[in-house]
Amino acid sequence: MKLIFEKSVPGRHCDLLPKCDVDPVELPEGFRRETVPALPELSEVDLARHYTELNHRVHGVNCGFYPLGSCTMKYNPRIDEDMAALPGFTGVHPLAGEKHTAGCREVLDTAAKYLCEITGMEGMTFQPAAGAHGEFTGVLLIKQYHASRGDTKRRKIIVPDSAHGTNPATAAMCGYEVVNIPSAPDGCVDLEALKAVLGEDTAGLMLTNPNTVGLFDENILEITRLVHEAGGLCYYDGANLNAVMGVVRPGDMGFDCIHMNLHKTFATPHGGGGPGACAVGCKAFLKEFLPHSALMDEPGHLQVRAFAGNFLVVVRALTYLLTLGREGIPEAAKNAVLNANYLMRRIQGSFEPAFDRICMHEFVLDLSEYKKETGVSALNVAKSLIDYGMHPPTMYFPMIVHEALMLEPTETESKETLDWAAEIFRELYELGKKDPDFMHNAPHQAQIARPDEVRAARQPVLRWQKG
């Protein structure tokens, strides 16, 4: 299909913006651009058809099952969108003054209160734009804490090798040396490996629990105790909070600060490039280091983004929290875990789980034996699923499992959908044995079957240019 720029016809237009009802102001000389921007010119019907055509070519949670492990692709209730579309929220300006922003402040304060209760934290900011930005903010809290005590010898952040790639990247961005520790065979923290690297130079530990293979680390209290004993702080990566929200609190596990991907766990459509939003929470002794929530250039205060962050995502998160309530939040977490275990056991016997034990909200299939036997890889199975109208699971992650397929069904899928999905996995298992070539060439129905990822990575074309 053509890009919107290629559909542009000079002089064609539509009136989607209201007429300007204030006097126009000329920009000062230095701020004006010198060339006219190459914006596409289309009529409203062209525009509607363009986006409808795009809509037909993508697969979202609204289209079908989307078990993309580690991404929590749950269905996001419409009411969250309705609340975020209220004109009182969409029309507000951050400099409008207290009288006009009191309602918005109440949203932020109420969301902070509930999220503190869920995580066992005592302070919260919504300033970071999304997950990795939140990690950056959280680790800066740790850094400021050590600096405030004159403890300058703490240069190292410990990250298990099963962590999300953003963890070591965050620690490095904050100026720390990253110490990777190997995981135990089950992906949990190897206590001996942890003890071996802890010391006077330990600034902190970054951890996800449940971890990246979907297992709850049973040694968590011992892990955080050891880090604290060495004088370090514990950072909780909230990537997998969906499995435990309202059931067990990171604060009670011994973590000092945490980030939550609001768009992921608390229901904003995600995966399309944003906006996301991140809440960073901390224990009381770190509160003084949190970013100021509203004003720019507060001296001595951390500022990671303008004003209160991506406010409308917080509105969605608060709506989600209020709709589910104190009973619904833990129920969602428990159903996420139940669904993952149910799907894992229904698939087992064909493709085998990498860890044969009760999982949390997601699980990993290990196809390395299957690939040896049939020549059909995790990639081939993932590609084949597209023909069934299912989004493929996450592939080749975590890296500690070879030929990994990682499935996270989420709590919003019904038993019927899970049964259907399990049947397809079992069907593909048999098909790969009989007709591996068919799977090597899958998908057979998709608009785009196998894009040239290698060329895309080696010679990326990131910007449309007038031909």
Partner 1 sequence: MNYPVELQYSRDHEWLRMEDGIAVIGISDFAQSELGDVVFVNLPEVGDDTTAGEPFGDVESVKAVSDLVCPVTGTVCEINEELLDAPEKLNEDPYGTWIIKVENVTDTEDLLTAEQYEAECTH
Q: Which stretch binds partner 1 (CB under 8 A): 91-99, 129-137, 345-353, 449-457?
A: 449-457
Nearer to partner 1, 402 or 444 (CB): 402
Q: Which stretch binds partner 1 (CB under 8 A): 70-78, 266-274, 321-329, 453-461?
A: 453-461
C-alpha span between 154 and 440 (Å, rounded): 50
CA angle 274, 270, 187 (to 5 degrees): 115
Q: Which is nearer to partner 1, 25 or 454 (CB)?
A: 454
- For the CB of residue 148, give the shortest distance to partner 1 in the complex, in Å: 32
Structure tokens at 232: 């370090």
**Nearest distance in Å: CB 374, partner 1:** 18
Nearer of residues 448 and 457 to partner 1, judged by Cβ = 457
Residues 356, 413 contacting (CB under 8 angstroms):
no
* DSSP category for residue 74: P
Closest distance between partner 1 and the C-beta of residue 165, in Å?
Answer: 7
For position 454 contacting partner 1 by CB under 8 A, the verdict is yes
Of how many residues is the chain composed? 467
Is residue 89 at the binding interface for partner 1, with CB under 8 A as the rule? no
Which of 102/457 has CB closer to partner 1? 457
Could you tell me the smallest distance in angstroms from the CB atom of residue 399 to partner 1? 6
Nearest Cα neighbor of 408 from 345, 348, 360, 347 is 360
**CA–CA dist 105, 294 (Å, integer):** 10
Residue count, binding to partner 1 (CB under 8 A)? 8
Q: Find the shortest distance in angstroms from Cβ 453 to partner 1.
A: 5
Smallest distance, partner 1 to C-beta of residue 455, A: 9
- CA 313 – CA 100 distance, rounded (Å): 19
- Report, in Å, the least distance between residue 354 CB and partner 1: 17
Q: Does 216 engage in binding with partner 1 (CB under 8 A)? A: no
Cβ burial of 56 (10 Å; 0-12, 13-18, 19+) is exposed
| In contact, 198 and 227? CB cutoff 8 Å | yes
Q: Which is nearer to partner 1, 113 or 455 (CB)?
A: 455
Q: Does 461 bind partner 1 (CB under 8 A)?
A: no
Site string for partner 1, 392-431 (x = CB under 8 A): ----x--x--x-----------------------------
Residues 211, 239: Cα–Cα separation, whole Å:
9
* Residue 457 binding partner 1, by CB under 8 A: yes
| Helix or strand (DSSP H, E) at 404 | strand 404-407
Min dist CB 309 to partner 1, Å, is: 29
Work out whether 102 is an interface residue with partner 1 (CB under 8 A): no
Cβ closer to partner 1: 103 or 165?
165
Q: Which stretch binds partner 1 (CB under 8 A): 86-94, 329-337, 338-346, 450-458?
A: 450-458
How far are the Cα atoms of 3, 6, 53, 119, 460 from residue 465, in angstroms, in the given order? 11, 10, 22, 47, 13
Cβ nearer to partner 1, comparing 45 with 457:
457
Q: Which is nearer to partner 1, 115 or 354 (CB)?
A: 354
> Exactly one of 32, 458, 463, 466 binds partner 1 (CB under 8 A); which one?
458
Residue 453 touching partner 1 (CB under 8 A): yes
Question: Can you tell me the distance from the alpha carbon of 140 to that of 135, in angstroms, rounded to the nearest whole number?
Answer: 8
State the CB neighbour count (10 A cutoff) for residue 210: 23
* Binding of residue 462 to partner 1 (CB under 8 A): no
CA distance 84 to 261: 17
Does the protein bind partner 1 through residue 372 (CB under 8 A)? no
Closest CA to 321 of 132, 133, 109: 109
| Strands 123-125 and 363-366, bridge-based pairing | unpaired
Q: What tokens were used for 361?
A: 């909200």
34 binds partner 1 (CB under 8 A): no
CA atoms within 13 A on the CB side of 137: 34
Closer CB to partner 1, residue 170 or residue 341? 170
Residue 165 touching partner 1 (CB under 8 A): yes
3-state SS, residue 206: strand
CB of 403 to partner 1, least distance (A): 10
281 vs 245: CA distance, rounded Å: 14
Give the DSSP letter of residue 407. Answer: E
Residues that bind partner 1 (CB under 8 A): 165, 396, 399, 402, 453-454, 457-458
